Amino acid sequence: MRYVIIGNGPAGVSAIEAIRKVDMEGEIININGEPYRPYSKPLLPFIIGGTIKYEDVFFRPPDFYDTYGVKPILGEPVIEIDVDRKLVVLASGRRVAYDKLLIATGGKPREPKIKGLDLEGIYYLTSLVYVEKIMKILPRVKHALILGGGPLGLKAALSLAHHSGIEVSVLVSSPHVMSQVLDAESASLLECKLVESGVKLMTRTSVVEFKGNGFVKKAVLDNGDELPADLVIIGKGVTPALDFIDRRKIRANVGIIVDGYMQTSVPDVYAAGDVAESYDILTGGSNTVAVWPRASEQGHYAGLNMAGFRKEYIGAHRMNSLDFEGVSCIVMGDVKTVKEGYKVIVERDIKRNIYQRIILENGRIRGAAIIGRTVNVGGLNRLLRRRIDVENIKSSLLEDKATFIY
């Protein structure tokens, strides 16, 4: 049996490890477009901030491939999958045959339509390639501009704020940061910490053009103002990296649609992680969930099923976590939608930087935003995921000493 896994992020690595729990003899080939061994993309901003060393970003040791008997093909992007002939076609022209295939290519950065985006000094924070370029120019950077108020952009801003002599500005087109997952009140706590860290925050503001002579020098805003910028980091989120698939053969919506066993519409072809669209436990439909724990989990289930150990995946829900200079922010499920019949539980302690919000739908947790504390977050997440009725204990959900037995 030959297993071919495209991508070596959390989904791909978890699949390799799961396969070896079932099949110790099968051949495993791991293809990745980047030339690196498995590394953690969520940690990339911390390299820039100097809080971790470059080598700390790798989440598996150098001998990982040898230990698991894997043949790596690194630095060769995939350009096509021939599902009829069971071949993976690489940019070099090389063709790799498979018996079982996992697509775990993750996400690619969303590219805004802005004039001058091709200038040097404008980067995304989704690859070590970009980090290496940023580190080279960082000593001469005076004005850093971050586009996007999501987790990636905010981590980048806080990391750059650790460098003395760099003026950091965050531009957000929405009314507040983390607008995809937080309401205005909860976001205000994070915005205060951002400003306290020395970051300039501009909401309801967009860039229409970058100017420079080879290297970026300034950004033109939608109100006509200009900001100096010799480093721009775009953190507008990611979209599934699936340009190489034939949608006439492999069914896809936003991501590649998979069943409960992580298999796509094509037999022997599986998908997991940010590129996959799996069962959404809140809506009953399918959705992409671009977070590390879910990617790792999906890769594990995909690997087991590829190796013949049939195990159904119960589904996923959105979840994000972020640390704002010591203030944690954990969001799970849907915390923005409030319809008639929903119950909203809110607890605030502004002096302690604590804000908690839980939304109940038919007695079950639909979403929760927990800022400033981590007690019982795991329990709340399990209650949400298992769709357990909490109507009788809803008044205790946010208590520090609450214990959940289920």
Which CATH number is 362's domain given?
3.30.390.30
Distance separating alpha carbons of residues 5 and 98, to the nearest angstrom:
9
CATH number at residue 214: 3.50.50.60
- 27 lies in a domain? yes
How confident is the model over 327-354, as pLDDT tens digits?
Answer: 888 888 888 788 888 999 888 887 788 8
Return the closest-CA partner of residue 250 out of 227, 275, 224: 275
**Quick one: 297 and 219 in the same domain?**
no
**Quick one: 198 and 294 in the same domain?**
no
Helix, strand, coil percentages (3-state) for the chain, rounded to 5, are 25, 35, 40
Domain total in the chain: 3
- 317 lies in a domain? no
How confident is the model over 74-133, as pLDDT tens digits?
Answer: 999 999 999 999 999 999 999 999 999 999 999 999 889 999 999 999 999 899 999 999
**Quick one: 294 and 384 in the same domain?**
no
Question: Which pTM was predicted?
Answer: 0.91
Distance separating alpha carbons of residues 25 and 316, to the nearest angstrom:
31
Distance separating alpha carbons of residues 57 and 53, to the nearest angstrom:
7
Per-residue pLDDT at 405: 54
Q: 186: pLDDT confidence band, cut at 50, 70 and 90? A: confident
217 in Cβ contact with 230 (< 8 Å): yes
Q: Which domain holds residue 277?
A: 2-107+248-306
Mean pLDDT of the chain: 92
Pick the most confident of 21-35, 227-241, 282-296, 322-336: 21-35
Q: How many CB atoms lie within 10 A of CB 62?
A: 10
**Quick one: 141 and 97 in the same domain?**
no
**Residue 72 predicted with pLDDT over 60:** yes
